[in-house]
Chain A
Amino acid sequence: MMRRSTQSKATVAAAAALLALTACTTDQSIENPPAATEGGEAAATEEAGATPAPEGGDEWFDQAEYDQQFEQRSASFEGDPEQPWTQYIDGEMTATAEFAADEPQKVCFSNASISNPWRQTGWITMNEQLKVLQDSGVISEMETRDAQDDDNTQIADIDYFIAEGGCDAFIISPNSTAALTPAVERACETGKPVVVFDRGVETDCATTFIHPIGGFAWGIDSANFLVDNLQEGDKVVALRILPGVDVLEQRWAAAEKIFEENGIEATDYFTGADPTEIKKIISDELATGDVQGVWMDAGDGAVAAIEAFEDAGADYPVMTGEDEMSYLRKWEDTGLTGIAPVYSNFQWRTPLLALERIFAGEEIPAEWVLPQEPITEDQRAGYLADNEGMPDGHYAKFGGEDLPGYPEVWRERIIP
């Protein structure tokens, strides 16, 4: 039922009003600093904390982060390009000599959930990677607790691991950013290695934080593709899963900015990834007027969106989906103009491989930024061939081709 429609005009108006408000206060404090200098400084720092996104007018937009991810899209990555899950952007490293161990170690994994196909695919890959590391004597066992999308459950899970898990290392895939920060900090205080991946937390106490480039990069890749293939004034329907998750909000924040700058009329809705809602939204939009493009913050439901155009007898839109097999197949079948942004699923292997290095005492990146490249129309056939026979919910860039269970485990979708 989570769904929101925002007439872009309303958003712009509201954003403008908000901007005007914050801009006023910002301007005052910067241009007319109070006579007392220490007061002026205090006001300025307070301002920086109180207005999260002065430029974009959106609380999730962060110009510095946006620029950084924009650059990272074309950055060069260290490591073997054949194994993108081990690649990283050169940067600050963490020394891990203190964690070196000879014995197999017990790993405790606090997982946010496996409630969507992306997480399920990654979870399967992770377990196959675990088998390899168990065979090589790096890891004795991995105890996993699934928080089922609940912050409180995950906090309890982490505290359980700390208190009685007997863990030699922690892997945490946080459910939400702010709520999980204290729990991750408590895990850090145990002095054991902590690996955080996927969604982030507001602390850098972890030994390493593993993630693909990020949400802004996704938004930039996908929105620029739409802008390149549409004309000014064209209508784009943006289908978003749910509010409040940083990686998803950043995707939209970037895309919204690019649409605004290029005169694309974008209307965004929350769908909860429910295909019924998606179809309803598209039908209503098509009933009001033509829709030239569809932007999605995740591929789940892309097929339903395309079907809605078929059902209404309308022309196919320019589409952005994800590297999910259902979308790649539908994309090929229909021949529509599209792109598949990727939120690298192979990152689920990396935390265990990071622990392998940590237990060997090798230094690892403090922030492990993995490559994140969209699949273009030219590359599509290759990925379809490589993943032939995989179920619809499978992700093309899952990166498990060299693991022992390939391809049956993914083909049968055996969820541990």
Chain B
Amino acid sequence: MSAAVTDRSAVLQQNRAPWHERALRALRTPGGAVFVLLVVLLLAAIAVNPSFGEPGSLIRFVGRTAPIAIAAIGQYFVIVSGEFDLSMGSVVTAQVFVAGNLIGQDDSRTVPVLVLMLVLGALVGLVNGLVTTLLKVPSFIVTLGTMLALLGLVLYWTGGAATGNPADSFRQIGRGGVQDVPVLEVLPYPVVLVTVIAAAAFWLMRRPYGRTLIAVGDNPRAAALTGARVWWVRTRAFMLSSLAATVAGIILVGYAGVHPSVGRGYEFTAITAVVLGGVVLGGGRGWVLSAAAGAFALETLFALLNFLGVQSTWRDTVQGVIIILAVAAGTQTWRRRRRGRTAPAQAPKHVIAAQPAPGSDQEGT
């Protein structure tokens, strides 16, 4: 009993620690460590190539990484709910072609096609989600199917080759920026977009939906028993993921132009970024901004390898090793926490549950 009390006060003490101690502790979790990694990688890249550290260069780097970060944020929703979305890359490719073929050189079609793309994105997510949750097909298979089906459609539609780029006004979303910004010279629109989306995702994860999403990923049965509509929570996560892919596609049409290889491998880059951000595959743990940071860390690493002149045939290998190491590190840390530090936090609960008030009807749990 006395032991439980000390433990409990220890937990309280830990939770009421000053902010800097809590921040330091957060940095030791996988989700926090990615920020340290990002800073280290950035410093290394700047050390190797000082001109990379100029504000103008850096902000352009953020701009070109934005679509990957947005995709990673989208993928986060699905992964934290305990599923996978492998269809992202194909959604990006398909949307790039929708933009290229439907807008053409006609500026007036920009807005209707933009709306159409978002609707299409939501629809792909809806199908992914409903088939996964209602038909109980593993999401790995469902989204693999969607990935191949969409790729096939694109191939059928285009014969697998680039058509023309859409109107320049549309491409400005991915290519342009706010000019004459002090210090930065230019603030690319993708940077604005990724900031807004990251803020919105951060806010959403603090809303009831976000809390439920994590609960569903951690223990769908328990979540269902508390009254959460698990199928709908997950389906919406798939829709968010496809919508994120759509936004990434919109940026990429502008940044790169229409080509069947745009978006290729995006699902794996996004998953790598999410895992690198300390989000646990299988769901229930991880912070959305860590996923975005994972994307930036990954791209900084690739840029660093480029600067060092490492052959980028190694890139896929690096990506593979990172997935394995990050997952291994993540599970080790979470398991340690589960066994060790968080154990006292649960002990007092048992104590409380063991002593129901006589005659109370609230003991049934």
Contacts and interface: CB of A to CB of B under 8 A. Distances in A.
Contact of B51 (A3, A9, A275, A287): A287
A315 B259 CA distance: 25
B307 A284 contact: yes
A48 interface: no
B261 A115 contact: no
Contacts of A3: 312-313, 315
Interface in A261-305: 269-270, 272-281, 283-284, 287-289, 300-301, 303-304
A113 B160 CA distance: 10
Interface string B307-346: 1011111011000000000000000000000000000000
B194 to A, nearest CB: 16
Contact of B165 (A270, A283, A392, A413): A392
A1 interface: yes
Given A273-B261, A275-B257, A393-B162, A7 B316 contact: no
Interface string A117-147: 1011000000000000000000000000000
- Which of B52, B162, B264 has the most CB atoms of chain A within a 10 A radius of its CB? B162
A5 interface: yes
Nearest to B60: A283
A381 interface: no
B312 A287 contact: no
B295 to A, nearest CB: 14
B160 A391 contact: no
B303 A284 contact: yes
B202 interface: no
Contacts of A391: 163-164
Which of under 10, 10 to 19, 20 to 34, or 35 or more describes the interface residues of A? 35 or more
A270 B311 CA distance: 10
A70 B307 CA distance: 36
A326 B310 CA distance: 32
Interface string A86-126: 00000000000000000000000000011111011000000
B163 A7 contact: no
Contact of B259 (A114, A284, A301): A301
A276 B255 contact: yes
B52 A273 contact: no
A272 B261 contact: yes
A287 B49 contact: yes
A303 B257 contact: yes
B256 interface: yes
A287 B256 contact: no
A312 B161 contact: no
Given A275-B262, A276-B252, A276-B256, A287 B159 contact: no
B57 interface: yes
A311 interface: yes
Contacts of B316: 1
B236 interface: no
A264 to B, nearest CB: 17
Contacts of A4: 311-313
Interface in B234-283: 252, 255-257, 259-262, 264-265
Contacts of A312: 60
A393 B161 contact: yes
B306 A5 contact: yes
A393 B162 CA distance: 7
B260 to A, nearest CB: 8
Nearest to B253: A275
A6 B311 contact: yes
Given A1-B316, A5-B306, A300-B162, A273 B64 contact: no
A397 B52 CA distance: 42
A3 B312 CA distance: 6
Interface string B280-312: 000000000000000000000001001101111
Given A273-B259, A275-B259, A117 B315 contact: no
A50 interface: no
Contacts of B61: 283, 287
Contacts of B165: 303, 326, 392
B159 A114 contact: yes
Given A275-B257, A288-B307, A304-B257, A1 B159 contact: no
A385 interface: no
A116 B306 contact: no
Given A274-B259, A304-B256, A287 B52 contact: yes
Contacts of B313: 2-4, 270
Given A274-B259, A303-B165, 7 more contacts: A1-B264, A6-B309, A7-B309, A9-B309, A276-B261, A283-B61, A391-B164
10 contacts: A3-B313, A114-B161, A115-B159, A115-B260, A116-B161, A120-B159, A279-B64, A279-B255, A284-B307, A393-B163
Closest 7 CB pairs of A and B: A7-B309, A275-B256, A274-B261, A115-B160, A392-B164, A117-B161, A276-B256
